[in-house]
Amino acid sequence: MAGTRHEMPELPDLSDEYANAAHIPGGADFLPRWTVQAAAFRDALGDRAVLGQPYGPGPRDWFDLFMPAARARGTLVFIHGGYWRAFDPRLWSAFASGALARGWAVAMPCHTLAPDARLSAITTQIARAVDAIALVQPGPLVLTGHSAGGHLVARLACTDVALAAAPRVARVLPISPLSDLRPLMQCDFNADLRLDAAEAARESPALRTPRAGIDAHVWVGSAERPAFRDQARWLGTAWNAPVTEDPGRHHFNVIDGLADPGSALLRAALAGL
């Protein structure tokens, strides 16, 4: 009928699909426990915990570096989660213990949080951090990160991101990564991220081309929210990379293997290096 206005259908709110703590028994207890463990770990490591190393002029342009007792075999870079809008790496310090026991150094960079930075700017910032870490740490680099951090390490493995240290990156291991950001535009936290269709597509590793020569392995818990298992599968399919579903692991304890030198997770990260 002429003059009839056709309304666009309202898209569903996906906020709960990407919520974690409310769907994990005891979910509220993890952050306080990690905080206590992290402080104890740093204290016990003494001068092998080299804290707050700057990689730029900004207040969150720093990384912590944890060194093994002997000469490091390489450096594992871990990037934390929090939907790019919460926390800093000190919450996860204790998860460096597994790689340290295997003779690897561990670097944990900080980055500016949304809404103070767009995701594209955070990607560039983390690339600068990895380049700075590579300047002070010899040997191979393995990049791993959890959730939003999994997204960031996957982005650094894409051909469109400038990364001087790329030839030294032997492997990327995104853990529970966000690989296609387009669904996040339908979540309430996009008020902070401010993703639009163009940036969501541009910053989605599953829609980008991975660098040649970098081994990729995607990790996710079998008991995670379906949205996160989908995100892991999308990345693995797009990159022709293996996807491991860690049996019984949810979004918070899926990283426990980083603290266990004999875990399947660390074997996947460091095997053959």
Q: Which two tokens stand for residue 23?
A: 């769907």
Model pLDDT, residue 7: 56
Mean pLDDT within 38-56:
98
Q: Is the pTM of this model over 0.85?
A: yes
Q: How confident is the model at residue 9 (pLDDT cuts 50, 70, 90)?
A: low
Q: Is the pLDDT of residue 238 over 50?
A: yes
Q: Is the pLDDT of residue 3 over 50?
A: no
Q: Are 175 and 121 in contact (CB under 8 A)?
A: no
Q: Which two tokens stand for residue 4?
A: 């009839």
At 111-137, the pLDDT tens digits run: 999 999 999 999 999 999 999 999 999
Q: How confident is the model at residue 11 (pLDDT cuts 50, 70, 90)?
A: confident
Q: Give dist(CA 269, CA 116) in Å, integer.
A: 32
At 77-111, the pLDDT tens digits run: 999 999 999 999 999 999 999 999 999 999 999 99
**C-alpha distance from residue 79 to each of 7, 13, 69, 108, 223 (Å):** 42, 28, 23, 6, 22
Q: Is the pLDDT of residue 8 over 50?
A: no
**C-alpha distance from residue 10 to each of 13, 107, 186, 200, 266 (Å):** 9, 43, 10, 19, 43
Please tell me whether residue 243 adopts helix, strand or coil conformation: strand
Q: How confident is the model at residue 2 (pLDDT cuts 50, 70, 90)?
A: very low
